[in-house]
């Protein structure tokens, strides 16, 4: 009988040890790293520092701050834009932080955090071009866009739904390629996000200018798998805290302040 009680006691002890040490450790190991996928060719939101090789940008610094707020390490991978959502769905990373606009189409596939910045599409032309002032002036013109972005969607919408007969839409993998095509006169205009356009114009003075004001209103969010609802809630809470404690404004000022 004593052996029976001793055996039962050992079982209880093993269960208690599992609860106290093994299970919490397993849960912690699942949460101690947030893997982030980002196409680092979209300055000032994400880019590679030419001097240090470091991945930098507003999105990435904001994700790092979120990690600090949560006490979780953030690990960033530089991935191609055209495979960024499949990479998320395949489990290569937990979060996309890559200047991604929240759209109805994307919401069918992924969840987005609360919006963290407002953006809009603008038309960029060569500095001496005064013939393009609005999107209606793109009739008969060649336009460059980054493939599978809202700039691409807006150009396609103009052509197919708004009767703005753009003569050709040239699609490129990265924003710098669109501006190079504009510089080389392969296109008449680039359609791209406002902040990216402003960064390029600032970096290459005398080459480009914006044609008028943004013609869309958009919001960026970090994208997660539909199943990662707990992580989504944590990131949203961290975003709220960063806005409340001034850290968000500090990061914003670094990249967009005068």
Q: Distance between terminal CA atoms of the chain?
A: 81
- Measured between alpha carbons, how far is 120 from 98 in angstroms, rounded to an integer? 15
H helices of 84-146, in order, are: 84-89, 104-107
Residue 210, beta-bridge partner list: 124
Question: Are the CB atoms for 64 and 74 separated by under 8 Å?
Answer: yes
Domain 32-118+219-256 in this protein, CATH class: alpha beta
Distance in angstroms (rounded) separating the CA atoms of residues 221 and 113: 5
Residue with tokens 């001034």: 246
Q: Would you give per-residue pLDDT tens digits along the chain (258 residues)?
A: 433 444 444 444 444 444 444 444 444 444 589 999 999 999 999 999 999 999 999 999 999 999 999 999 999 999 999 999 999 999 999 999 999 999 999 999 999 999 999 889 999 999 999 999 999 999 999 999 999 999 999 999 999 999 999 999 999 999 999 999 999 999 999 999 998 999 999 999 999 999 988 999 999 999 999 999 999 999 999 999 999 999 999 999 999 875
Rounded Cα distance between 209 and 124, Å, is 6
| DSSP conformation class of 228 | -
Domain ranges within the chain, ordered by starting residue: 32-118+219-256, 121-216
Residues 121-216, CATH architecture = 3-Layer(aba) Sandwich (3.40)
Do 209 and 127 form a contact (C-beta atoms < 8 A)?
Answer: yes
């Amino acid at each position: 009988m004593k052996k029976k009680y001793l055996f039962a006691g050992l079982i209880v002890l093993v269960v208690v040890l599992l609860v106290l040490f093994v299970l919490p450790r397993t849960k912690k190991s699942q949460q101690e790293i947030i893997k982030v996928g980002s196409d680092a060719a979209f300055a000032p939101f994400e880019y590679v520092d030419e001097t240090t090789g470091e991945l930098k940008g507003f999105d990435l610094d904001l994700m790092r701050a979120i990690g600090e707020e949560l006490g979780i390490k953030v690990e960033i991978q530089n991935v191609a834009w055209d495979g960024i959502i499949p990479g998320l769905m395949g489990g290569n990373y937990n979060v996309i932080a890559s200047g991604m606009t929240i759209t109805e189409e994307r919401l069918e596939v992924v969840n987005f955090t609360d919006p963290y910045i407002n953006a809009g599409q603008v038309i960029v032309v060569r500095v001496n071009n005064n013939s393009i002032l609005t999107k209606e002036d793109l009739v008969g013109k060649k336009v460059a866009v980054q493939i599978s972005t809202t700039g691409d969607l807006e150009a396609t919408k103009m052509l197919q739904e708004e009767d703005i007969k753009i003569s050709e839409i040239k699609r490129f993998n990265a924003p710098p390629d669109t501006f190079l095509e504009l510089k080389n006169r392969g296109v008449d205009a680039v359609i791209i996000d406002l902040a990216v356009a402003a960064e390029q114009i600032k970096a290459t003075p005398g080459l480009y200018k914006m044609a008028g004001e943004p013609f869309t209103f958009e919001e960026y969010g970090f994208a997660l798998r539909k199943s990662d609802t707990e992580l989504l809630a944590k990131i949203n809470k961290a975003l709220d805290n960063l806005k409340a404690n001034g850290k968000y404004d500090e990061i914003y000022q670094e990249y967009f302040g005068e």
